[in-house]
Amino acid sequence: MADSSPKTQPTTASVDDFIAAVADETRRADCLVVRKLMEQATGERAVMWGDAIVGFGAYRYAYAGGKTGDWPIIAFSPRKTDLTLYLMPGSETFAPLLEKLGKHKTGKVCVYLKKLADVDPKVLKTLIEASVKAMAPQRVRA
């Protein structure tokens, strides 16, 4: 029988080492800023989820078919072309804030940034805090 566990799970890998290994200096510096914002918003320490996602806190999700799993309340990943922010209620939830953010692209739960210099830092902070607040009722406590 196939394992139905989600592929991306929290690990014990070092977040510091992961961020230090980001080749692009600007992206690496941006990761440090986003990490601090997300830690402040959640009150949680950063944890590696899989080998490329830095997550904070967790919530339990369930699919209609009964499959469940845990996923970070909020997360980011320094992908090759973008710094990806994972906003779990979905990016469309934050359309008014995103209009004020600055240069970005969106996916269903993702906001893609080339660099933090392209966005308004106050709006980014508000966006992160709003995402965390929206997920509070679903938060899993350790």
In this prediction, residue 72 carries a pLDDT of 94
Q: What is the pLDDT of residues 4-33, one digit of tens each?
A: 556 788 999 999 999 999 999 999 999 999
Which helix (H) or strand (E) is 98 found in, with range?
Answer: helix 95-101
In this predicted model, which residue has the larger pLDDT, 60 or 38?
38
Q: What is the largest CA-CA distance in the chain?
A: 49
In whole angstroms, give the CA distance from residue 78 to residue 142. 27
Inter-residue contact 2 to 43 (CB < 8 Å): no
Q: Would you state the pLDDT for residue 136?
A: 87
Q: Indicate the CATH number of 15-136 among 3.90.1150.200, 3.30.360.10, 3.30.460.20, 3.30.70.270.
A: 3.90.1150.200
Burial class (CB in 10 A: 0-12, 13-18, 19+), 67: exposed
Quickly state the pLDDT bin for 141 (edges 50, 70, 90). Answer: low
Categorize the per-residue pLDDT at 3 as very low, low, confident or very high, splitting at 50, 70 and 90.
Answer: very low
Terminal-residue alpha carbon distance, the chain: 30
Q: Is the pTM of this model over 0.85?
A: yes
Q: What is the DSSP string of 1-41?
A: ----S-S--B----HHHHHHT-SSHHHHHHHHHHHHHHHHH
Q: What is the mean pLDDT of the chain?
A: 91
Q: What is the mean pLDDT of residues 71-100?
A: 93
